[in-house]
Structure 1
């Protein structure tokens, strides 16, 4: 039997049409139903290069085919004239003819022409096709696994591009935030490199990889600068040697409390709002503070820097309230809190503590060792991580205590955690 016996002589043969005819004459037809083939064809329409008209024609032809013709070794054939198909699509007959030819050359359909060029299907009493002339879907059935693989690969590529675009946006914003939040280290070169990567004409996947590498280098450079600064200053930030003209007031008889009255250089600038949740803790301390009041000398307020508003602990090095606000978005949305200022962070500590199931005594101990500002900042980071990935942090209270222990030892990279949360 000639390979092209079902193609009329008036058609101009192409390699694609010949390949479709060979597939249509195959005897090895997989038992794949109409719905599976239809889904695979529509998913692979773009990588197969189908135009919108060809896709529309394909959709109509699939709808006209009978599901029973797709069972077993059946050959689903659709008999419809070009004129009627053109009326369905809303295009001219010549446009429909070109669309059908494109589907045939894409090895989705095959021509099964009659001698007169007419298309019809003859069925027996059982509804089975005895002979038919029209457009044959057998090539699509034979190529089902190949078409499905093409669709899966195309979808994976689309997902990779979409994720790469998201990575480019997320990482570039994180780099800008880090550069703007860090005032004591010149990181402008990283911003210039980021702009050069964004303006490059390379693929979005390459841009995402380059930006991720640049972000890692930025975090590493910032961490090394902080470590070098700590070594150079002899870890003075942890011992309080930088806080000149400050007379700290230690309360050794009440280890449960972290809300003792502190006299600092900027005490006349900041008035923390009273929190009713801590009233039971504050009252005894005020009484004891009244009995053992220490006279302090008033000092002028220090000029604020670009760092955190409070420098009572080395754990707050490179930590600003704006960085905390941009990193702890889940805490703010889930708990209905605002972290736009340090007083608001201190007021929100009670809600966050209850939210992660941390006891008052544990938080009070952390405040006594690190200061209330540093303890609240660590609490916000722990709450954010616990809300984002509850399965990863099974015990937020224990995780908070471990972070506080590392902060006391000077090993807690709180700024790096915040940068990572902001980028994620």
Structure 2
């Protein structure tokens, strides 16, 4: 009766993890055979759960390439006894030190077993007919015995990825709806004060670029649903605190919407539209105390105390270049929206710097919208004040 090796060669000790992997690898196989590349692909899908990297999987693929058969079969020899030099060559010249580290990771993950010879070398003994009677190397048997578990976990991972893909698709569609509705409101001339929801939409677009979990995407979907409902509500009616003008405003918005729907020529509507007094950029300075309270982070860059707007403007002029606003765009913004509004906008950008990918470009966009009568920093200040409170 031949002895089956269970202990490692050299200084490597016997550990509880090693004993557990030996037991799992030698368990009775629930299936008689499995396609080795089907198992490899499944392992790749759950590699992170197994604590493996892409390079670990690449080394496992090299080991499988030395197994002569396509299938791993119960009762067949499944020990790969290729030398490190042969494995390294087939792994596109991977250094042997790196190769040994990846092989150890596969052993620790319980996907392969070591059958060490008395001298630690890998080799095979053959009988008179040339058949292999004993081999020392890496045993692929765990891939067969654990195949049902690996394949099941891979199917769960595939379903999870499809779920995430579908949820991301839904959020993307909702984000498109929000952007298009805001664009419609701006081009229709509706006074809906959508700057805040526009910022929320842009922030959502930035967040969606990241790799999000299903639960994060589901939470984002709920937020987008609330955002779209908010946009629809603002497009349908403008809620005011004065009950005497509420009905008048409601009728005015509905009339404008109806007119836009009846016309068959959008260009004609655009020619007939003229800016009213409400569309002229509001250059009235916001309350300095509100700016200081809503945007406290920017004051860390000031070199003197702020007593009035003159002090604040002097300080902001040195902060603007730090966030990518050059002198030309700063001067243009001061002209279109007023210097106090421009300074307040810079303070908002600094306060939200972690949420904005390109503050300089964003500032130019806001300045342009201000020139068209579509932007005021007041809603952003109000939102930050609520957040601070």
TM-score by length of 2: 0.52
Partner residue, 2:20: 19
Give the drift of 1:47.
Answer: 3.8
Distance in 2, matches of 1:234 and 1:94, equals 76
CA–CA distance in 1 between the matches of 2:132 and 2:161? 40
- Identify the range of structure 1 (83-92 vs 53-62) with the bigger mean alpha-carbon deviation: 83-92
Partner of 1:53: helix, strand, or coil?
A: helix
Q: Are 1:184 and 2:187 an aligned pair?
A: no
**Partners in 2 of 1:13 and 1:133 — Cα distance?**
18
Which consecutive unaligned segments of at least 5 residues does structure 2 have? 239-245, 276-389
Structure 1 unaligned residues grouped into runs of 5+: 244-263, 271-300, 307-424
Change (3 A) 1:126 1:177: farther
Distance of 1:87 and 1:25 partners within structure 2:
30
Deviation at 1:105, TM superposition (A): 0.6
Whether 2:180 is the aligned partner of 1:174: answer no
Distance in 1 between residues matched to 2:46 and 2:102, nearest whole Å: 16
1:1-400 → structure 2 map (5 Å cutoff): 5-35=6-36, 36-67=38-69, 70-89=72-91, 90-122=93-125, 129-182=132-185, 183-186=189-192, 187-195=194-202, 197=204, 203=212, 205=214, 206-207=216-217, 208-218=220-230, 220-221=232-233, 224-225=236-237, 233=251, 303-304=272-273
SS state at 1:102 partner: helix
Give the number of the structure whose alpha-carbon radius of gyration is greater: 1
Q: Per-residue deviation at 1:64?
A: 0.9
Alpha-carbon offset, residue 142 of structure 1: 1.3
| Contact kept? 1:23, 1:138, Cα under 8 Å | no
* Displacement after TM superposition at 1:115 (Å): 1.1
Query: What is the DSSP-based 3-state SS (H/G/I as helix, E as strand, rest coil) of the residue aligned with 2:272?
Result: coil
Whether the aligned pair in 2 keeps the contact of 1:47 and 1:154 (CA below 8 Å) is no
SS in 2 for 1:191: helix
1:235–1:218 Cα change, 3 Å: closer
Between the aligned partners of 1:28 and 1:14, the Cα distance in structure 2 is: 24
Q: Distance in 1 between matches of 2:74 and 2:134?
A: 17
Alpha-carbon distance, 1:7 to partner: 2.8
SS of the residue corresponding to residue 48 of structure 1 reads coil
- State the Cα deviation string for residues 223-257 of structure 1 (Å, max 9, x = none): 7539x9899659996xx9x89xxxxxxxxxxxxxx
Query: Aligned partners of 1:123, 1:73: CA distance in 2, in Å?
Result: 17
Deviations 1:194-240 (A, max 9, x none): 345556799464253244323441365257539x9899659996xx9
**Cα deviation 1:174-205 (Å, max 9, x = unaligned):** 21221221232513342243345556799464
Secondary structure in 1 matching 2:138: strand
In structure 1, what is the Cα distance between the partners aligned to 2:131 and 2:66? 16
Report the Cα distance in structure 1 between the residues aligned to 2:61 and 2:53, rounded to whole angstroms.
12
Count of residues paired in the alignment = 253
User: How far is the alpha carbon of 1:139 from its aligned partner?
Assistant: 1.2
Q: Structure 1 residues 3, 184: closer, same or farther in 2, change over 3 A? A: farther
Q: Deviations along 1:135-175, whole A, 9 cap, x unmatched?
A: 00111111112222333333344444444444444433321
- CA gap of 1:136–1:302, structure 2 versus 1, over 3 A, is closer
Report the counterpart of residue 379 of structure 1 in structure 2.
none
For the 8 Å contact 2:25–2:110, the answer to whether it is kept is no
Q: In structure 2, the residue corresponding to 1:33 is in which secondary structure?
A: strand
Larger helix percent: 2
